[in-house]
Amino acid sequence: MHRVALNKVPLGTDRFSTLGEPVRRVLFGLFLIQFALVWARLLLPLPLLANARWPDGLLLVLAAATTVAALARRLPGQNVMLASGIIAVISGGVQCLNSSSGIPFGPCDFADNIGQELFHPLRWAVPLLWIVVVLTSRGVARLMLRPWRKTRSYGYWVIGVTAALVVLFDLGLEPFATRVKDFWIWHPTKLPFDWYSTPWVNFVGRGVMAVLILAFATPSLINKKHSKSVSDYHPLILWLLLNGLFATGLAAKQLWPAVAVIGGGSLVVTVFAVRGARW
């Protein structure tokens, strides 16, 4: 058993790493402040911010910034930016395909609440959201699979567990986005089953897309330098905070089945992640 170091994570040697740990802590602190504001808006009447869209957008930007900055503690900055670019390009391209054809996620229209378009029909928030979801889910998967990190099939397991965590995350995001925030609207399909209006084909598509993204991004996410592996709880903390935000909004709307799925899933993920991190 190895002692877990929470803050002592090996730094890279490129220029990006010279930003230093203080800057990364500032980014995470700003994220926590913005998170508290968005969380409070779900529970308390704030007349001055009642119709404002910028708090949600700023939270997403800070989530992406702190995710990328945290990952740069163990990888060269150019690797992190390359992986983020790959995620943004693939997710943006697939989302454009879905907007025009309904494939692979199902027919969906974005509302103005999610922000402006980068170009038609892609909203700027979509690539950032995928960067956060994929990179945090992969970080959590690495914690869960830490005891098996020296096995030959470890890389494939990381991709598979990451895809499963992306789907689990989306199970909480979808009802939050459609029933609480009105970010997008799903249209009925021929399939008789849905999850708070979200067709089940969407979740299959999200999992397949996560695998596709990781197939291209994983080489950039592998540390080529041999260094001591240290557990990093940052992805797990961020993953749980965002799921907690979803649960809060859904609880305020009394959507208890969705709250139960988020709570149960978060508990199981936390148990396995902490157990793996302490290995």
* 67 vs 235: CA distance, rounded Å: 7
Q: Identify the sign of the CA torsion 6, 11, 15, 16.
A: negative
Residue 243's closest CA among 176, 178, 197?
A: 176
Q: Is the pLDDT of residue 3 over 70?
A: no
Q: Is the pLDDT of residue 10 over 90?
A: no
Q: Is the pLDDT of residue 256 over 90?
A: yes
Mean pLDDT, rounded, for 77-95: 96
Residue 138's closest CA among 66, 188, 213?
A: 213
Q: Is the pLDDT of residue 245 over 90?
A: yes
Per residue in 87-117, pLDDT (tens digit) is: 999 999 999 999 999 999 999 999 988 989 9
Domain boundaries, the chain: 78-277
Q: Name the pTM for this structure.
A: 0.91
The whole-number pLDDT of residue 230 equals: 76
Q: How confident is the model at residue 4 (pLDDT cuts 50, 70, 90)?
A: very low
End-to-end CA distance of the chain: 5
On whether the CB atoms of residues 231 and 4 are closer than 8 A, the answer is yes
Q: How confident is the model at residue 22 (pLDDT cuts 50, 70, 90)?
A: confident
Mean pLDDT, rounded, for 205-209: 98
Q: Is the pLDDT of residue 227 over 80?
A: no
Q: Is the pLDDT of residue 50 over 80?
A: no
Residue 114's closest CA among 105, 122, 102?
A: 122
Q: Is the pLDDT of residue 16 over 60?
A: no
The whole-number pLDDT of residue 12 equals: 43
